[in-house]
Every structure is written in C-alpha cells, then in structure tokens.
Amino acid sequence: MTEVLKRDEVVAARGVRVTFGAVKALDGADLVIHSGECVGLVGHNGAGKSTIVNVINGGLTPHEGTITYGGQDERGISAARANGVRCVFQELSLCPNLTVTENARIMHPDLKGWNWRSGALALVEAHLQEIFPGHSIDGDSTVDDLSIAERQMVEIAISFAGTDKKPKLVILDEPTSSLDAGLAAQLMAYIRKFVSEGGSVLLISHILGEILSTSDRIVVMKDGRVTADRAAGEFSTRSLVEAMGNVVREQEWARAAATKTGEPVLSMPPRRGHGLAFEAYRGEMIGLAGLGGHGQTEALLDLYLDRNSNWWPTRRREIAFVAGDRSLNGTFPLWSILKNLSVASLGQLSTNRMVDRMREETLGESWKKRIEIRTPDMDNRILSLSGGNQQKVLFARALATTADIVLMDDPMRGVDIGTKQEVYDILRSEAANGRTFIWYSTEMDEIRLCDRVYVFREGAIMEELIGEDITEKNILAASFSEGAAA
C-alpha cells in the first residue's frame, strides 16, 4: 500500500474475525473505504454486513484483525466518532421518548449553551430540507409519534449533519427500507452530492438497483468473507445476484386469472368518508400502493382489528399480520426464535390445551429450511439473528398459521433477494390455494406482482388498478393527482 493511498483511506478493516458462540459472523473480512467514494455493500441475510459495520463504528472489538482510521490503529466508539465516522443503524436507534431536536443534541454534544435547542432545531431542519426537500417533519415532534419512514429520515439527517466539521464517513445500513421510491431517490441524489464534495458513504442495501446506480465500488460478502470487490460499472444486476451466491431466476409470475369472484372475504367502507371502498376476495393478492404514510398501515390495522379484536385465543385463526416495524410490533425480544415463530399457531399445536413441544419443533425446523433462517439453533434468542433473518421469522409466523387472510405491512424490510424470490413463490402458490394476501409495499417491483392494487392518497383509496393496468406510471399518477394516467 503506497503512502498516497494510506492518506486517502478513511477507514480500513483488515483480516477481521468475529465469532458469536459457534457462528463465525466475520471470518477474515477486509474492507477499505477511501475519501470521496460511495461503497455499496451487499450480501445474503447473515453474511456479516451489520457486524463489519459495528466493527468499523467501534462498537464491536474484533477477535482478530486490525482497524485503522486515516492509517492510525485506534479502537472504540469515541475513536470512530473522533475520526468522523457516523452510522445509521438498520434497527433505528433514536430515543423514542425525546423530540427530534433532543435526539440531535444527543448525537451532537457540542451543541451547548442555554440556546442549544434552537441550534439543534436549525441543524436538523437544514439537513432534513437538504436531503428530503419538501418533507413535513416537525423538529419538536416526539420520535414515538413519527412513522418508521420519518424516523429513518430523521436519523439520516442527524448523521449527515456536522456542527463545525462535516462527517468523513456515513454508514447507511438499509437506509431506504421504509422509504417510498420518491424519498429513496432524494437520498440517493444527496449521497452522490456528498461524495462529490469529498465525503464517503458505505451503503448497505438489498435493493440492488440503488446499489448499482449510486455506488462507485461494490463489495460483496458471503458467510463472513468478502468475495468480490470491484468498480460498480463492472457489475450488472445479474452478475451481482450471482456474486451473492443466488441463482438468477426469470420472474415467472402468472396473475390470478380472475379477480373479484364470489363473495368478498374482507371489506371496508371508503376511508375518511371519500374515495373508494376496500374489498378483498378469496385467492387474491391485493397491493396497497401510494406514497408512504398515506394511510396504508392504518388501513391494515383497521382490517386486522375488524376480524381479530377478541382477546380470547381462538383455535382457528382467521387473519394473520406480518409487521414491517419488527422492533416496535413484530418480535418478542426476550423469546427464542422458535417461540417467536410458533406464537400465532399455538392453538393448532396444542392437545388438551398443552403445547406439543415435538410438533412445535417440527414446525420450526420445516420453516427454518423453507426460507433459510440462518441459525445453528432455533432455541437461540431472536435478537441473535441478523435483521433480515428476524423478518423471515415474522413471515413464517404468519404463513404457518391456518389463517385465510394474511395482511403484510411492507414485510420485506431487509430481506435478501434470494429469500424474496422464495417468499414470492410461496405467496403465489398459497394464493392459488385460496389464501388472500393484502400487501402494503414501498417497492414498486412488489406492487407489480399483485392481482389488484388500491392506491392511497391522503388517507383514502383514490384508485383501483387491475392486472395489466398495474404500472409504475399509473400508480404514480394516482398517488399525486385526481386520476390515473391512461
């Protein structure tokens, strides 16, 4: 390594090994980031991406290997911060009971003096405006009152903000997982601006389009090692998927031949007194589209409560829910992986009101294989899983029930591309067998897989699209204006 390159290095991790019990999370991984570049980091769920982020961020001391900042060997969170490293974590880390401004103060302790509030407010508002122009987040709101997308935006803005000096490296772990396409595009444009001015970004995402369009260089991880590290221009979507160890499959997706047949299995009058009514029929896959935060999650919750407001456990569950915000309303953090998976199916796993442990384990093992939940032991705690693998457990929880209707609230957050393909196939075959899926997604590619789509605007359903009319153009038109484009 020449002196010139060394000076240019913002951070370098070399030969890093980290183990958690029997799991080799990092098995001799190397990652070097230079100033003025955006490095895309991809890999399957559990490949070791968040672990290497924690090592670079100083939160985790590796069992072997070196970490240098600007060529200097240093350790710990304060060394990382002093060297200009900031991180937006996959599981967002804002304090929920504090306001946006107070959270900015925690991340920037140099905002001092009796007037720190107005300094913090100005800082966060300026960066929110620069990154997400036109946003409507109030800096005095309590974080708990914000949607998951808004929390993600706030954390991103606070991380890019600098009181006296700009950060040198911002690590973004799945930053767009809850953002709709418009907000994601704003963030990608800002990243390009930030690196053109000499900053560095480490971008982790399972949305390969944004990795390919925004990164200068792409690093691929597999089973704790770096398996490819090349200029972004040398990859295509296909070669990137293959480098991650997945087989590229042409999406063969036959929509249901007929929609709206028979009696509706679920319905809801027009929301907020205007727009269209909601109806779902047996075997349909219904997409909820529109800009994020326009009432889709609220509609799902109302549909769920309409069918399941009973506190008494029922043997035959009618409706299941896959949460998108897994840490808020998805996982039971103190429970094992198996208990998290089986909790919605206890009725069907019980004899004489006692859970049959053998049947529970068989259920766990079958789903572990089916969607590749990466763990040596299903009795490990759920939080020992990587984020994407936790999300797979929530999927398995809903699909393992006998519920005829499954509601999904942007359920693919952080799930890798190989697993997504598996899950899409499971959804399609289950729908063909008569299950109804109601699917809110912030990803246009997923909305396009649905048989019928309701587009939300300002809390109400403003457009219904069926079959071939489900196009990005029509969805965008209905998201913004009075009618869908022809």
Ligand X SMILES: Nc1ncnc2c1ncn2[C@@H]1O[C@H](COP(=O)(O)OP(=O)(O)OP(=O)(O)O)[C@@H](O)[C@H]1O
* 46 scored as a contact of ligand X (CB under 6 A): yes
* 342 scored as a contact of ligand X (CB under 6 A): no
* 411 scored as a contact of ligand X (CB under 6 A): no
What's the closest the beta carbon of residue 368 comes to ligand X, in angstroms?
Answer: 13
- What is residue 343's DSSP assignment? G
Tokens of 291: 């800009």
* 48 scored as a contact of ligand X (CB under 6 A): yes
**Beta strands in 147-211, from DSSP E residues, in sequence order:** 169-173, 200-204
Residue 12's alpha-carbon distances to 55, 80, 220, 482, in angstroms, are: 10, 12, 16, 52
* 49 scored as a contact of ligand X (CB under 6 A): yes
* 43 scored as a contact of ligand X (CB under 6 A): yes
Residue from 50, 83, 159, 479 binding ligand X (CB under 6 A): 50
Q: x/- contact string, 414-433, with ligand X (CB under 6 A)?
A: x-x-----------------
Tell me which stretch binds ligand X (CB under 6 A): 19-27, 175-183, 293-301, 362-370. 19-27
What's the closest the beta carbon of residue 338 comes to ligand X, in angstroms?
Answer: 15
* 25 scored as a contact of ligand X (CB under 6 A): yes
Q: Which residues pair with 32 in a beta bridge?
A: 12
CA distance 118 to 33: 35
* 324 scored as a contact of ligand X (CB under 6 A): no
What's the closest the beta carbon of residue 309 comes to ligand X, in angstroms?
Answer: 33
**Is the Cα torsion angle 95, 322, 392, 182 positive or negative in sign?**
negative
CA distance 189 to 132: 10
What's the closest the beta carbon of residue 399 comes to ligand X, in angstroms?
Answer: 19
CA distance 251 to 254: 9
Residue with the shortest CB distance to ligand X: 388
| Contact between 171 and 13 (Cβ < 8 Å) | no
* 117 scored as a contact of ligand X (CB under 6 A): no
Q: Which long-range contacts (CB under 8 A, 24 or more apart) does 266-274 make?
A: 266/303, 266/306, 266/307, 266/319, 266/405, 266/436, 266/438, 268/299, 268/302, 268/303, 268/306, 270/460, 270/461, 271/295, 271/299, 271/459, 271/460, 271/461, 272/458, 272/459, 272/460, 274/460
| Contact between 39 and 201 (Cβ < 8 Å) | yes
Q: Which residue lies nearer to ligand X by CB, 240 or 405?
A: 240
CA distance 109 to 200: 23
Tell me which stretch binds ligand X (CB under 6 A): 79-87, 116-124, 155-163, 385-393. 385-393
- State the Rg of the chain over Cα: 23
Q: Which residue lies nearer to ligand X by CB, 45 or 345?
A: 45
3-state percent helix, strand, coil for the chain, nearest multiple of 5: 40, 25, 40
Tell me which stretch binds ligand X (CB under 6 A): 2-10, 344-352, 383-391, 456-464. 383-391
* 386 scored as a contact of ligand X (CB under 6 A): yes
Residue from 29, 51, 428, 449 binding ligand X (CB under 6 A): 51
Q: Which residue lies nearer to ligand X by CB, 244 or 265?
A: 244
* 396 scored as a contact of ligand X (CB under 6 A): no
Tokens of 468: 């071939």
CA distance 221 to 207: 15
Q: Which residue lies nearer to ligand X by CB, 205 or 442?
A: 205
Q: Which residue lies nearer to ligand X by CB, 285 or 415?
A: 415
What's the closest the beta carbon of residue 311 comes to ligand X, in angstroms?
Answer: 34
Count of residues that interact with ligand X, criterion CB under 6 A: 21
Q: Which residue lies nearer to ligand X by CB, 44 or 294?
A: 44
The single-letter code of the amino acid at 414 is G
Residue from 389, 419, 441, 474 binding ligand X (CB under 6 A): 389
* 226 scored as a contact of ligand X (CB under 6 A): no
Q: Which residue lies nearer to ligand X by CB, 177 or 186?
A: 177
Tokens of 132: 């997400």
* 331 scored as a contact of ligand X (CB under 6 A): no
Residue from 8, 14, 23, 259 binding ligand X (CB under 6 A): 23
DSSP code string of 223-256: TTEEEEEEEGGG--HHHHHHHTT--------PPP
Residue 44's alpha-carbon distances to 50, 97, 252, in angstroms, are: 11, 34, 22
Residue from 14, 17, 374, 420 binding ligand X (CB under 6 A): 374
Residue from 62, 387, 411, 418 binding ligand X (CB under 6 A): 387
Binding site for ligand X (CB under 6 A): 20, 23, 25, 43, 45-51, 90, 374, 384-389, 414, 416
